[in-house]
Amino acid sequence: MRDIKPFWQNYIDGAWADGGAGRIDVINPGTGQKLAEHALADAADVDRAVQAARRVHLSGALSDLRPVERGRMVRAMGRYLLDHIDDIAPVLTLEQGKPLWEARMEVEGAARYFEYYGNQAETVEGRSIPLGAGYFDFTTHEPYGVSAQIIPWNYPLEMTARSLSAALATGNAAVIKTPELTPLVNAWFAHAAEAAGLPAGAVNILCGLGHQAGAALSSHPQINQLVFTGSVATGIAIATAAAQNVVPCVLELGGKSAAIVHEDADLEAFESDVRWGIYFNAGQVCSAMSRVIVHESRHDELVERISVLARSLSVGPGIDRAAFGPNMGALVSESQRDRAARMVAQATEEGARLAAGGRKLNLPGAFMEPTLLCDVTPGMSIAREEVFGPVLSVLKFRTAAEAVEIANSTPFGLASGVFTRDLDRATQAARQLRAGQVYVNEWYAGGVETPFGGYGQSGYGREKGREALLNYVQTKNVAIRLRS
């Protein structure tokens, strides 16, 4: 294992600080061993961070800048991340479990948000509304002020980058509550903010327990906007707390996303969608392809192909998996791995059949075999509940209408996919699927430029794309009565 700093601090008002709630052990899920300690924030630390961000906002140090200046700073943060990719990626792998090549992709993905939203800073423009000869009316988009951001452990770098870059580009200051399982890599946002010349207090980064620091941040009366990425239950708690102060939220929650595979689909090409869709980041992706709904005529061939794929992936410590290839790392923690294994066991008790994997690996650390379940029916818990692990469920359909009905049959609505050579059929399904994104013939098609978010219990509001900018600004209308 590489040497990494034994103790990591929070970052408040431009300075590194211990936490009022003590320290937390950060565990390497690739070994089960302690990796480092991180300061734990309490409510007083959260308050200091919010006050620092508020001071920056009220000073106008960010919001009064010409947008091109803010955009340059935001882009510089992204460049800083890329310049330090060799330092950041191993730490991400060691605390989160993903293969080193995936960690490097995550650093690049995080940097891409700063590039995109840095470029967008100058595009946030108001409009003039005609009210007749006696008036001049125009709108402006103003930053909310203090943007509170609560981050999950599956992509600790990219999820922070997604919200932070848009918040800064629009002139907000931010307080970030990092996930307690994977808090370390967020430190580089503090370094990046300093290197880019942002004022002290514009970016504050705290690790704390959800029910302490997280709850203190979401209920703080002086935050002005909140972005939460995480589970449905926590999203409900956070939105409820924010509602008490009439603070608007963006909620990016979980999913049980389905790919519909028609009888004319290219199954060989689809193997790559499965590989990325459910075994990337060991399935700990909110928009993972956790269900495949396949036409009954192609079922057996598809199950055979995916079983071979699942068995071909080498599973082990991410730090030894530097090169892109057929491999998978640890899950984030043993408890997350055990939860996934329990859900697989319950599925088999309910009548599902294991076509590949299903077991924990006999290794120290949080490892699980890439898993494939078939004979899954829509009523089973495995077909309805998010596993957040490398577990794919295969269901069958006879008619296109039945496929869409099954895809839409969970309370979630994050992503969905249609695999067919028939454009009419794909377009029809795209209209009927209740999900924030529909992928046709490529799972995860899209990018930072395309809006992302949920229908139903997968949340509301959109991150990514130009849509997201509107979550970070409020519209002011100025109506002027002309006197002469």
Cα distance between residue 152 and residue 265, in whole Å: 35
Residue type, 386: E
Tokens 């690739």 sit on residue: 30
CB atoms closer than 10 angstroms to residue 319: 21
Q: Interacting stretch for ligand NAD, rule CB under 6 A, among 55-63, 86-94, 177-185, 427-435?
A: 177-185
DSSP character string of 64-89 = TS-HHHHHHHHHHHHHHHHHTHHHHH
N- to C-terminal Cα separation, the chain:
76
Chain centroid, CA 286 distance in Å: 7
**Site membership for ligand NAD, residue 118 (CB under 6 A):** no
Task: Pick the closer one to ligand NAD by CB: 131 or 233.
Answer: 233
CA angle, 203 then 449 then 326, to 5°: 95
Residue 151 within binding range of ligand NAD, rule CB under 6 A: yes
The verdict on whether 252 is a catalytic residue reads yes
Contact segment (CB under 6 A) with ligand NAD among 41-49, 123-131, 176-184, 294-302 equals 176-184
With binding defined as CB under 6 A, does residue 225 bind ligand NAD? Answer: no
Q: Which is nearer to ligand NAD, 204 or 234 (CB)?
A: 234
In angstroms, give the least distance from the CB of 345 to ligand NAD: 20
- Contact at 8 Å (CB) between 434 and 413? yes
3-state secondary structure of 162: helix
**Which of the following is catalytic: 95, 252, 369, 386?**
252
Single out the residue of 117, 153, 189, 367 in contact with ligand NAD (rule: CB under 6 A): 153
Is residue 21 close enough to count as binding ligand NAD by CB under 6 A?
no
Q: Least Å distance between CB 231 and ligand NAD?
A: 3
Nearest approach in angstroms of CB 461 to ligand NAD is 10
Cα–Cα–Cα angle for 268, 271, 275, nearest 5°? 160
SS3 category, 153: coil
Nearer to ligand NAD, 152 or 318 (CB): 152
Smallest distance, ligand NAD to C-beta of residue 478, A:
35
Q: Is the CB of 318 or the CB of 459 nearer to ligand NAD? A: 459
Separation CA 400–CA 261 (nearest Å)? 10
Q: Identify the CA nearest to 88 among candidates 75, 105, 74, 76.
A: 105
- Count CB-CB contacts under 10 A for residue 348: 14
Alpha-carbon span 320 to 279, nearest angstrom: 17
- The residue range among 102-110, 232-240, 305-313, 466-474 that interacts with ligand NAD, by the rule CB under 6 A, is 232-240
- How far apart are alpha carbons 355 and 364 in whole angstroms? 25
- For the chain, count helices (H), then strands (E): 14, 22
Alpha carbon distance 286, 177 (integer Å)? 19
Quick note: the x/- pattern for ligand NAD over 412-441, rule CB under 6 A, is: --x---------------------------
Residue from 10, 28, 51, 154 binding ligand NAD (CB under 6 A): 154
Interaction of residue 180 with ligand NAD, rule CB under 6 A = yes
Name which position in 127, 211, 311, 476 contacts ligand NAD (CB under 6 A). Answer: 211
Q: How much of the chain is in helix, strand and coil states, percent to nearest 5?
A: 40, 25, 35
Tell me the window of 105-113, 152-160, 165-173, 311-319 that interacts with ligand NAD (CB under 6 A).
152-160
**Active-site residue, from 286, 369, 374, 463:** 286
Among 252, 273, 369, 375, binds ligand NAD (CB under 6 A): 252
**214 binds ligand NAD per the rule CB under 6 A:** yes
Q: Which residue has the tokens 């590039």?
A: 115
Nearer to ligand NAD, 88 or 238 (CB): 238
Residue ranges that bind ligand NAD, judged by CB under 6 A = 150-154, 159, 177, 179-180, 210-211, 214-215, 218, 229-231, 234, 237-238, 252-255, 286, 386, 388, 414, 459
Catalytic positions, written as ranges: 252, 286
